[in-house]
């Protein structure tokens, strides 16, 4: 008895995930609760485990986008022992004579040169319709035909690629026969609409049309020799891989598939390269002299590389565009003299680390200054919900972190109650999880205010975009020594520009400017943070 392994629910707002990696191979024996795959959503990466022991049968391929509840694999009863027993009972393959070269056998033309009689089972016409792919999906687009009208298809062979607003999936033949296409590429089809029909059973050329000589010629061609264990999946790209190859202009026949049964995966497509052009013939001596007189143009490989956007990147893109379109965003600037904080850090950083086990960074000072300023100007930490404004008596500070898979924003809860050491420890834990893609949904949701530090990458000035549904974000930048006037004297000080982007719908100019000035005052006189003045 088999058990279907499906994509589990991973969050209220998540409707699909990407199968980023298989941890086990097709046919492997797995134990209960053993990790079999890695799934990636737009917010986090998590592992898929086996729900019972048995033999794993893969259904989805790496790079596939899967809806919640979609079948990823099945687990069959039995395991390695059962497979070994079956192998012992299987008849041994015939061995060629020592002096007789082995010949590859074409799946369409047998070695004897005569094709089998057409399969009459399942005769008649069968309509292939658009299947149900999700509760909220009512129509799909026929993005491309993988087989042509009149082609012979096998049962379960992929014949077309359908695309919804959430995922791309393959349409397979429900029986063997001759394909008769009805819909065209680019057509929008409702769920249940007829896409094509499959007529009769398997058709094959008659013996009169295939002579033994022709069969031998076909069989001896290395291009027609299928690999060991070859199936219709061999050399067939996944939907994601097919798009990448089409964009690169690379034929699927030139790509070696490393997926299940030789299937071409997304990784194979990304690594595929066009065949290098043949080297030009050497020019005549006179032409070489002429070319030497012409300006030298540097030669080298010129190519473009296309990658499908990850779920995380697509979600970030949608949210940032939505913020620009739905908020009245404005940015105000100021600058802060960082010398007092730098002197304080230089004096106590060693003792601080010895006592608390973490370094004393700039982010804890900025977080603490923001929480104090939010107490005086609560509108900066408010948010709009319909026709109401929500004010919070706590400060959950979101810290923007650049992770390997994109920007994530983990939240430090109740930062207004924390000391500098507690804030530094929280930042270390969250940043570590972000780098390892182990942040949970709860650790990235909520937040009343965001701090982002573009200065670590060398940014001097920027206008950060609000992290919706919050209403403001503070941008830190790099520290540059600049001449400034203090008490009528020009001195060199380490200066940083600060940028506060805010939603002008609920935050007025007076509040935004006063908030930023308060942050500046607290940073330039760190004793205020300790005394609360």
Catalytic residues: 504, 508
User: For 193-222, b where at least 16 C-beta lie within 10 A, e where not — what string?
Assistant: bebbbbebbbebeeeeebeeeebeebbeee
For the record, the structure tokens of 102 come out as 């082995």
Closest CA to 346 of 452, 494, 516, 528: 494
For the record, the structure tokens of 153 come out as 């298809």
Cis omega (within 30 of 0) on the bond before 75?
no
Distance in angstroms (rounded) separating the CA atoms of residues 188 and 288: 57
Q: What is the CA radius of gyration of the chain?
A: 32
Q: What is the DSSP letter of 167?
A: -
Helix (H) or strand (E) holding 196: strand 194-199
Question: Does residue 84 contact residue 61 with C-beta atoms inside 8 Å?
Answer: no
Residue partners of 312: CB distance under 8 A and separation at least 6: 40, 41, 42, 43, 405, 406, 408
- Return the bridge partners of 128, or none: 196
**3-state class (DSSP) for residue 376:** helix
What is the per-residue DSSP string for 272-328?
Answer: --PPPPPPPPPPPHHHHHHHHHSPP-----------PPPHHHHHHHHHHHHHHHHS-
For the record, the structure tokens of 490 come out as 């020009």
Distance in angstroms (rounded) separating the CA atoms of residues 496 and 379: 25
**3-state class (DSSP) for residue 83:** helix
Distance in angstroms (rounded) separating the CA atoms of residues 165 and 141: 9
Distance in angstroms (rounded) separating the CA atoms of residues 276 and 344: 60
For the record, the structure tokens of 55 come out as 């033999």
**3-state class (DSSP) for residue 354:** helix
Cα 92 to chain centroid, rounded: 45
Residue partners of 295: CB distance under 8 A and separation at least 6: none
Question: Does residue 494 contact residue 524 with C-beta atoms inside 8 Å?
Answer: no
Closest CA to 26 of 259, 269, 230: 259
Residue 152: count of CB within 10 angstroms of its CB: 16
Question: Does residue 54 contact residue 205 with C-beta atoms inside 8 Å?
Answer: no
């Amino acid at each position: 008895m088999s058990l279907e392994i499906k994509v589990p629910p991973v969050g209220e707002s998540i409707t699909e995930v990407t199968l980023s990696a298989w941890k086990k191979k097709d046919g492997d024996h797995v134990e209960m609760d053993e990790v079999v795959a890695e799934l990636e959503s737009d917010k986090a990466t998590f592992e898929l485990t086996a729900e019972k022991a048995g033999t794993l049968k893969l259904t989805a391929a790496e790079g596939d986008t899967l809806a919640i509840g979609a079948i990823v694999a099945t687990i069959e009863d039995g395991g390695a022992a059962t497979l070994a027993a079956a192998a012992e009972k299987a008849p041994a393959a015939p061995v060629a004579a020592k002096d007789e070269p082995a010949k590859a056998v074409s799946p369409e033309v047998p070695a004897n040169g005569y094709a089998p009689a057409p399969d009459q089972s399942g005769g008649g016409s069968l309509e292939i319709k658009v299947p149900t792919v999700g509760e909220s999906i009512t129509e799909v687009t026929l993005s491309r035909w993988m087989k042509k009208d009149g082609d012979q298809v096998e049962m379960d062979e992929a014949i077309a690629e359908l695309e919804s607003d959430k995922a791309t999936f393959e349409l397979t033949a429900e029986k063997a026969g001759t394909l008769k296409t009805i819909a065209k590429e680019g057509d929008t089809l409702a769920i249940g609409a007829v896409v094509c029909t499959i007529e009769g059973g398997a058709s094959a050329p008659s013996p009169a049309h295939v002579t033994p000589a022709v069969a031998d010629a076909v069989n001896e061609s290395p291009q027609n020799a299928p690999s060991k264990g070859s199936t219709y999946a061999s050399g067939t790209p996944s939907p994601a891989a097919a798009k990448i190859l089409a964009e690169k202009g690379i034929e699927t026949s030139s790509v070696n598939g490393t997926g299940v049964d030789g299937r071409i995966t997304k990784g194979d497509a990304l690594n595929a390269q066009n065949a290098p052009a043949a080297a030009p013939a050497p020019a005549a001596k006179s032409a070489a002299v002429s070319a030497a007189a012409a300006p030298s143009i540097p030669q080298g490989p010129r190519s473009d590389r296309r990658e499908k956007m990850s779920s995380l990147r697509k979600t970030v893109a949608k949210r940032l565009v939505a913020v620009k379109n739905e908020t009245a965003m404005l940015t105000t600037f100021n600058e802060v003299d960082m010398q007092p904080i730098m002197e304080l850090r230089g004096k106590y950083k060693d003792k601080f680390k010895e006592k608390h086990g973490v370094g004393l960074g700039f982010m804890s000072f900025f977080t603490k200054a923001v929480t104090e300023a939010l107490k005086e100007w609560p509108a900066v930490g408010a948010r709009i919900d319909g026709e109401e404004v929500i004010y919070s008596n706590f400060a959950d500070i979101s810290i923007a972190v650049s992770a390997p898979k994109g920007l994530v924003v983990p939240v430090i809860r109740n930062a207004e109650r924390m000391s500098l050491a507690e804030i530094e420890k929280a930042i270390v834990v969250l940043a570590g999880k972000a780098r390892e893609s182990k942040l949970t949904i709860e650790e990235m949701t909520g937040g009343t205010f965001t701090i982002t530090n573009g200065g670590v990458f060398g940014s001097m000035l920027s206008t950060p975009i609000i992290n919706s549904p919050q209403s403001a974000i503070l941008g830190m930048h790099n520290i540059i020594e600049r001449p400034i006037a203090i008490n009528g004297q020009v001195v060199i000080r380490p200066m940083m520009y600060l940028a506060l982007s805010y939603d002008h719908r609920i935050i007025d100019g007076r509040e935004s400017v006063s908030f930023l000035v308060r942050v500046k005052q607290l940073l330039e006189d760190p004793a205020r943070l300790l005394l609360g003045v």
